[in-house]
């Protein structure tokens, strides 16, 4: 084995002084800002909680926050004795389209559609993003359950508007499942299940809209079939 290099006395003194300065600086900083790390940890935790309750692409509440908002809306509806509608909007073939267009363009696509959906309802009502291709709407300011049909028709037409990204004109269709409080369910979790089953029924039956409530479904016009996906210039 070769000889190990020996540190010169001057260099050793410099290193020891540097270490001492670091220790003194750390002690001074701790005394000057005793709550710095606690505040930083709290800020990081708050940022993490915020990112888990709001979707970073659309800015809409996520499924986690949506559950709380739905509970509050059901409570208000019960207290006021008025109906409430929960809509689940699933964008047809969105995952496939986003994969073809790339992540950045896929984010633009869902961001635009989320803004369109939000523009259909009042600013006081709720739109959330439950999944990559699913949005949910809470309509808790209804005069009657039949008012939902007008919103659903407008919603379907709005989602179907063309969108141009990088010179390509894209079209999306959607399926809408509707569950009503208190006709279909009185508990928030059950209301979500009924709306999810309704949107799945719309997909399996080839319909654009499906109501969980037979009364409203019977009083509304027959749901129109969904247009073929990727209509337009998608070469």
Same domain for 193 and 137: yes
Lowest mean pLDDT among 33-42, 109-118, 185-194: 33-42
Same domain for 142 and 102: yes
Please check the confidence at residue 110 and state whether its pLDDT lies above 70: yes
What is the SS3 assignment for 164? strand
On whether residue 45 sits in a domain, the answer given is: yes
185-220 as b/e, with b when 16 or more CB fall inside 10 Å? Answer: beebeebbebbbbbbeebeeeebbbbbbbeebbeeb
Same domain for 77 and 17: no
Give the count of alpha carbons within 13 A of 135, CB side only: 27
Q: State the pLDDT at residue 44.
A: 42
Same domain for 121 and 38: no
49 pLDDT band (50/70/90 cuts)?
Answer: very low
Give per-residue pLDDT as tens, 177-221: 999 999 999 999 999 999 999 999 999 999 999 999 775 444 444
Same domain for 126 and 41: no
Same domain for 168 and 65: yes
Report the number of distinct structural domains present in the chain: 2
Whether 214 contacts 148, CB under 8 Å: no
**34 Cβ contact list (under 8 Å, min separation 6):** none
Same domain for 70 and 48: no
Same domain for 140 and 120: yes
What is the distance between the alpha carbons of residues 212 and 132, in angstroms, rounded to a whole number? 23
Range of the domain at 47: 10-53
Same domain for 176 and 114: yes
Please check the confidence at residue 142 and state whether its pLDDT lies above 50: yes
Residue 179 Cα to chain centre, angstroms: 19
Q: State the pLDDT at residue 15.
A: 65
On whether residue 97 sits in a domain, the answer given is: yes
On whether residue 2 sits in a domain, the answer given is: no
Same domain for 199 and 126: yes
| pTM (two decimals) | 0.70
177: how many CB neighbours lie within 10 A of its CB? Answer: 26
Higher pLDDT, 103 or 15: 103
Q: State the pLDDT at residue 26.
A: 65
Same domain for 77 and 42: no
What is the distance between the alpha carbons of residues 63 and 54, in angstroms, rounded to a whole number? 9
On whether residue 230 sits in a domain, the answer given is: no
183: how many CB neighbours lie within 10 A of its CB? Answer: 18
Same domain for 208 and 135: yes
> Which helix (DSSP H) or strand (DSSP E) does residue 126 occupy?
strand 126-131
Q: Return the CATH number at 114.
A: 3.30.70.270
On whether residue 224 sits in a domain, the answer given is: no
On whether residue 82 sits in a domain, the answer given is: yes
Query: Which residue, among 209, 187, 182, 183, has the nearest Cα to 198 in the 3D structure?
Result: 209
On whether residue 103 sits in a domain, the answer given is: yes
On whether residue 1 sits in a domain, the answer given is: no
Whether 207 contacts 134, CB under 8 Å: no
Whether 86 contacts 191, CB under 8 Å: yes
Report the DSSP pairing between strands 174-181 and 209-211.
Answer: parallel
């Amino acid at each position: 084995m070769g000889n190990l290099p020996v540190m010169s006395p001057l260099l050793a003194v410099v290193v020891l002084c540097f270490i001492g300065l670091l220790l003194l600086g750390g002690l001074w900083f701790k005394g000057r800002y005793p709550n710095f790390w606690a505040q930083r940890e709290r800020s990081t935790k708050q940022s993490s909680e915020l990112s888990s309750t709001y979707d970073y692409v659309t800015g809409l509440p996520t499924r986690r926050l949506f559950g709380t908002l739905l509970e509050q809306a059901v409570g208000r509806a019960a207290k006021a004795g008025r109906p409430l509608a929960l809509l689940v909007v699933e964008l047809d073939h969105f995952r496939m389209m986003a994969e073809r267009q790339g992540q950045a363009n896929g984010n633009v696509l869902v961001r635009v559609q989320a803004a369109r959906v939000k523009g259909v309802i009042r600013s006081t009502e709720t739109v959330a993003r439950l999944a990559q291709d699913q949005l949910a709407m809470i309509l808790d300011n209804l005069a009657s359950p039949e008012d939902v049909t007008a919103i659903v028709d407008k919603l379907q037409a709005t989602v179907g508007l063309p969108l141009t990204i990088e010179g390509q004109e894209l079209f999306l269709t959607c399926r809408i499942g509707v569950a009503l409080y208190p006709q279909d369910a009185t508990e928030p979790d059950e209301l979500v299940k009924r709306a999810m089953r309704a949107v799945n029924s719309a997909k399996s039956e080839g319909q654009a809209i499906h109501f969980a409530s037979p009364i409203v479904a019977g009083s509304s016009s027959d749901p129109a079939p969904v247009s073929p996906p990727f209509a337009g210039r998608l070469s």
